[in-house]
């Protein structure tokens, strides 16, 4: 079991949360707290960088959905970047690949958004 680490940094369209380790029953509340603590402004894009995500269970998926709900309440967008293959497969199986915007990496997520502004 790898501890969860969440690092926040700024990008042009909005905050980027780099998520490292396991996103599971024990650690999902940490993501919920991190997202709730962000200062989001209408039009921002929150990017969740999952490149270093090692494991994600159903509680982790629920935390991703909770993050989506928070950004929608603030009239913001949410993108998942560098989603690991096993997590992408789960998202696909349950149809959440149609709910979340998925990008190959953070650069792709922030570049496409910047081009729309």
Sketch out the chain's domains with CATH numbers. Answer: 5-116 (3.30.750.24)
* Tens-level pLDDT at each residue, the chain (117 residues): 789 999 999 999 999 999 999 999 999 999 999 999 999 999 999 999 999 999 999 999 999 999 999 999 999 999 999 999 999 999 999 999 999 999 999 999 998 554 443
DSSP string, 36-55: HTS---TT-EEEEEEEEEEE
Cα–Cα distance for residue pair 13/54, rounded to 1 Å: 26
Token digits for 28? 């999902």
């Amino acid at each position: 079991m790898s501890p969860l680490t969440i690092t926040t940094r700024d990008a042009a369209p909005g905050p980027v949360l780099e998520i490292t380790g396991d996103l599971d029953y024990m650690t999902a509340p940490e993501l919920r707290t991190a997202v709730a603590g962000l200062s989001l402004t209408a039009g921002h894009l929150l990017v969740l960088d999952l490149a270093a995500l090692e494991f994600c269970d159903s509680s982790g998926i629920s935390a991703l959905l909770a993050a989506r709900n928070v950004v929608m309440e603030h009239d913001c967008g949410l993108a998942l970047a560098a989603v690991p293959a096993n997590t992408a497969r789960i998202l696909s199986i349950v149809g959440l690949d149609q709910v979340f915007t998925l990008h190959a990496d953070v650069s792709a997520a922030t570049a496409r958004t910047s081009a729309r502004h």
